[in-house]
Amino acid sequence: MADMAEDIKKMIIEELELEDISTADIDTDAPLFGDGLGLDSIDALELGLALQKRFNVKIDADSEQNKEHFRSVASLRDFVLTQQS
């Protein structure tokens, strides 16, 4: 499971072009938006597309659960693992 979290961190850095950040700088349980990593709604769209492409998951744009899925790297990891099983 730690490997999946690292893969997601790398994907976030690559897809969002966060050149000054390393995977070690991203706390697995810290919020991705707001006071955490500081991502915004445009980043969320890009991240959603990257997740769908890289991990072959389906994200329902109208789902009330998206906010929870995108809360942290840990919640994204859990979402991907659930989708893949």
CATH code, domain carrying 44: 1.10.1200.10
Q: Name the CA dihedral angle for 10, 11, 15, 20, rounded to a multiple of 10 degrees.
A: -20
What's the confidence (pLDDT) of residue 20?
93
What's the confidence (pLDDT) of residue 78?
96
pLDDT of residue 1 exceeding 80: no
What's the confidence (pLDDT) of residue 12?
97
What's the confidence (pLDDT) of residue 84?
87
pLDDT of residue 6 exceeding 90: yes
Q: Do the Cβ atoms of 57 and 78 come closer than 8 Å?
A: no
Q: How many domains does the chain have?
A: 1
Over residues 48-72, mean pLDDT: 92
Give Cα 56 distance to the centre of its chain.
14
What's the confidence (pLDDT) of residue 13?
97
> Residue 79 sits in which domain range?
2-84
Over residues 36-45, mean pLDDT: 92
pLDDT of residue 63 exceeding 70: yes
